Amino acid sequence: MHDKFRAISLSHKTAPVQIRELISLDEGTIQSILLKLREFFRLGDVLILSTCNRTEVYYNHEQDLSTEIIKLVGLEKGMADVVNYLDYFEVFNDDRLAITHLYRVCMGLEAQVVGDIQISNQVKRAYQTAADLNMAGPFLHRLMHTIFFTNKRIVQETTFRDGAASLSYAAIELIDSLTSTIYQPRILLIGVGEIGEDVAKNMVHLPDAKVKITNRTRSKAEEIAAELGFEVVPFENCIEAMNEADVIVCSIMKNEPFITKELVKQFDIQSYKLLVDLSVPRSIETSVEDVSGVVLYNVDNIRSKASEALEKRLSAVPKVEAIIEESIGEFYGWKKEMMVSPTINKLKQSLEQIRQDELSRHLKNVNEKEFELIDKITKSMMQKILKVPVVQLRAACQRDEAEELIEIITDLFDLEKIKTEK
Q: How far does Cα 303 stand from its chain's mean position?
A: 22
Q: Please, is 228 exposed, middle or buried when counting C-beta atoms within 10 Å of its C-beta (0-12, 13-18, 19+)?
A: middle
Which SS3 state, helix, strand or coil, does residue 33 take?
A: helix
Q: Average pLDDT of 121-135?
A: 93
Please report, in angstroms and rounded to a whole number, the separation of the first and last CA atoms in the chain. 23
Q: Is the entire prediction scored with pTM above 0.75? A: no
pLDDT tens digits, 178-228: 888 888 999 999 998 888 888 898 887 888 899 999 998 899 899 988 888
How many CB atoms within 10 Å of residue 18? 13
Q: How far does Cα 58 stand from its chain's mean position?
A: 9
Using CA of residue 77, residue 82, residue 88, residue 90, what is the dihedral sign?
positive
Note the maximum CA span of the chain: 106
In this prediction, residue 347 has a pLDDT band, given cuts at 50, 70 and 90, of confident
Cβ(319)–Cβ(158) below 8 Å: yes
**Is residue 52 annotated as part of the catalytic site, yes or no?**
yes
**Of 369 and 92, the one with more pLDDT:** 92
The mean pLDDT of the chain is 87
- Read off the amino acid at residue 284: I
Of the candidates 151, 149, 138, 130, which has an alpha carbon nearest to the alpha carbon of residue 47? 130
Catalytic residue, candidates 52, 106, 238, 250: 52
pLDDT of 44 strictly over 90 = no
CATH number of the structural domain 4-162: 3.30.460.30
In this prediction, residue 306 has a pLDDT band, given cuts at 50, 70 and 90, of very low
Which SS3 state, helix, strand or coil, does residue 395 take?
A: helix
pLDDT of 418 strictly over 70 = no
Distance CA 179, CA 209 (A): 9
Of the candidates 52, 84, 90, 56, which has an alpha carbon nearest to the alpha carbon of residue 71? 84
Distance CA 314, CA 392 (A): 43
Residue 78 region by backbone torsions, left for phi larger than 0, else alpha for psi between -120 and 50, else beta: left
Distances (CA, A) of 322 to 73, 102, 326: 35, 15, 6
- Domains of the chain: which residue ranges? 4-162, 167-298, 334-417
Q: What is the pLDDT of residue 163?
A: 59
**Of 318 and 405, the one with more pLDDT:** 318
Q: What is the pLDDT of residue 34?
A: 95
User: Which CATH architecture is the domain 167-298 placed in?
Assistant: 3-Layer(aba) Sandwich (3.40)
Q: How far does Cα 311 stand from its chain's mean position?
A: 24
